[in-house]
Each structure stands twice: as structure tokens, then as C-alpha cells.
Amino acid sequence: MIANVRGDERPPDNALSGENNLLSNLNEKDYDKSIDLYTKAIELNPFVASYYGNRSFAYIKTEFYGYALADADKAIKLDPKYVKAYYRRATANMALGKFKLALKDFEAVTKSHPTDKDAQKKYNECNKIVTRIAFEKAISVEEKKKSVVDQINLSTISVESDYDGPRLENEEKVSLKFALDLMKAYKDQKKLHRKYAYTGKKFTVCGDVHGQFYDLMNIFELNGIPSADNPYLFNGDFVDRGSFSVECIFTLLTFKLLYPNHFFMSRGNHESETMNQMYGFDGEVKSKYTGQMATLFTEVYNLLPLSHCINNSILVMHGGLFSDDNVTLDDLRKIERNRQPPESGLMCELLWSDPQPQNGRSPSKRGVGIQFGPDVTKKFLEKNNLKYIIRSHEVKQAGYEVAHNGQCITVFSAPNYCDTMGNKGAFVTLKGGDLTPKFTSYEAVPHPNVRPMAYANSLLSLLA
């Protein structure tokens, strides 16, 4: 494959020609192999812009947006006329919600290739997003906005006589029967009525489910329905990418209402307004319900805990650890979480950071948060008198990974992520006084013929 990439590559008049055929000799499960091969090519000749540009593409496909940006920058430095590198950089910035930076690169491409219709379309779509954000900011008021909750009058919402879905007892109480009826209805591709949508001896930790409702149902079939005797913690990224995110979040919130002291939910990096607008949840909610409902979810996500401590021994968070060695559990308790995630600081790092095999810290492969080594984990655990951490946030082929001398566990619960990655999903069960983790891996199960990212922002689909 490397031999087919020429160092003097120049884009044709249509700057996107061959975009979707890049790495054509690899199937969608081999981006890690592609990264490895292009890395070896760069070691042999570090002055070929296309090597960096193509590796940037593979990094984007594996969601390592920080690395993708760095490679795109290097490709542009080596060859300022290498148009695909501008696309790579724009794509990575779009994925991180940095729309103004993406717009600059799209503008550069349209100026260099004024007849390229694809480039013009991407520029126009990105410009719409930047314009909309600027308009919303201009008309916003500094005082606290009235909550959507205060604008909803349930008494005015009637349940139609022909509605045959789950019903709340006495129109207000969540019961086990309601939860079971809800899951059955979702399996049959029915919808919960909007009135109910607004009301709302082991311990199992699950990672990202990303809108893969039928795989979520498989977890409950394998491990049992949540109950007071079968508690669960879902560790963020309940929505986005998968196209059954509404079904996932309502099922999880139903169990939270049913068992408030035995069912727990941590916020992930995708429980944010920007991610939801890009990766599908916002569009899905608006398609199945209303824009008001989408705004309500933003408010709900702002209230989710950022981490959980189990038996004063295990800290569970979605992303990872911190750029400061002196962080304590009290520092985490003091974080103001009722807001959109910032781009730096403790809240950002809890949601975005990743472990690395080597000691120390490194810039994030995602472009947000940090990467932290075994020594960082060890110091944090010793300072806070903890045994180990459990985090999610990353696809693992077995659905889980034990790293940092057993002190850092990753669990990812969305098998065959986005219907392309071929990974297993997993959950962790903790039993006994010493809370020894037990891992259960499982394959993906069939789902209705709705593709992942079906509700995602149209510009992302253009960049795929």
C-alpha cells in the first residue's frame, strides 16, 4: 500500500477525487494497521506530505483528532498546495466543534479550487453552522435562561386513545412493569408517548453504548434487568453515532427513576450540546420528538455526575486523569458541573483524557484532555487511597482492557461500534469485599436496518 503513494502527489481539479477510496486496499477494520504502515513510511522518508495526509485520514477514522490535526499541519507545512491536508484539518476541527477553524480551511480550498462543487458545498454548510452559532450568541441574554422544565405543562398534553405503548401508573409513577413494557416497545420499534417522555449482590459497570439500543438490551439479557439486587453504573456516552439513542436514553432514565439508589449514570464527553449537534442525538430527538425536547436533554446532561466512587476504593469516570498530580476527590466534588464541558481543566479531563502505556503525560491524541501514564495513575490512587480506576471512552477489541499494572481498566459496551469496527462489547461486574473485577465480553446483535449516524449533521456525512 505504501508503495502506491507517490511523494509528488497533487490533487486533481476536483480536490475530493479519491477521498472515499483512500486506503482502498484496507477494509474499515484496518485503520490501526494503516497508521502503523504510514508511520513506518514516514520513518523512511519524513518529507512526503501525502504520508502525513493519509495517516491523518486514518487517525480521523479512529477518532484520534489531535493526532489528525498534527499530521495535517505537518503535511501543509511540507506542501502548502496539498489540498487534501486542508480537508483533513477541517474535518478534525469539525469533529471537535471548532467550526471557525474548519471554515478557514474550507475557505482556503474554495479559493484554490473555485470550480470544485464539493469544496464549495462543504464551505457553505460549515459557514451556516458558524453563522447560526454567532446569531444565537448575539441574541442570547446574560441572565439565566428559563429552564425548559418550567415551560412544560403536562396537564395540557393528552394521551391519544389509540396509543398502545407503555403507560405510567396513575400517569406519574415509574414501575418495573413500565420499564419492561418500554423495552419491549422499543424492540418493536414503537415510540414512548411524549407525555411520558417528559415525566420521567454484584455491581455492574458498563461503558459507552452510543445509541446501540439492541446491544443495550443484550446486556440486560446477559446480566439481568437492573434492580435493587442488581445495580448498574453506565459510564457515559449513552447517545450519538448509533441511531437508537432516544431509545437508549429513555430506557436508562427509566431505570434511574425506578431505582434511584441502585442505578447510576455518569456524564460522558458526548453528553454535550456540541457533540449532540454533530453526531446525531440532537437530530434524532428533533426527528422523533421536538426541538424543545432536545433542549431539555441538554439541561438534564448538565446535571449528571462526572464520576462515582465505589466503596471508597474505585473511582469511575468516563475519560481519565489529570494534568495536575495534586487532584483530590474533594476537588472533584467541588467542580461546577451544571454547564457545557470546557476545553480545559478538571471537568474536561474527566470527560476526555486517555491512558498511555509510557510514564508521564502527553498531549491528547483527541486534541482535548491529556494522555496519562502508569506513574500518573499510581500517584493519583495513592494520594486518594484508592485501588484502581474504571474508565470508558475508547474502543477495545475485547470490549475491555486492563492497563497500568492493573490500576486502570477501560470498558466499552458498544460492540461492532458504528457497524464497522468489529470489536466486542463488555461490562465489568464487581463482587466480594475486595471488588475483584470480572469481565464479560459479547458480540453485537442484529438491529433494524437504520444505519449509524443517520441523524448526524449533514456536513459530517459529507466528510465521512
Could you tell me which of 108, 114, 113, 81 has the C-alpha nearest to residue 93?
108
Q: Is 447 a catalytic residue?
A: no
How far is Cα 395 from Cα 413, in angstroms, rounded to an integer?
A: 9
**HSE (CB half, 13 Å, CA atoms) of 50?**
14
Nine-digit cell at 92? 478534525
| Phi, psi for residue 362 in degrees, rounded to 5 | -140, 160
Question: What secondary structure letter does DSSP report for 48?
Answer: -
Angle of the 213-223 helix axis to the 245-258 helix axis, nearest 10: 40
Distances from the Cα of 109 to the Cα of 82, 301, 394, angstroms: 10, 37, 32
Distances from the Cα of 202 to the Cα of 77, 230, 419, angstroms: 54, 6, 31
**Of these residues, 113, 210, 270, 393, which one is catalytic?**
270
Distances from the Cα of 36 to the Cα of 29, 32, 33, 232, angstroms: 13, 6, 5, 37
Nine-digit cell at 379? 500517584
Write out the catalytic residue numbers.
270
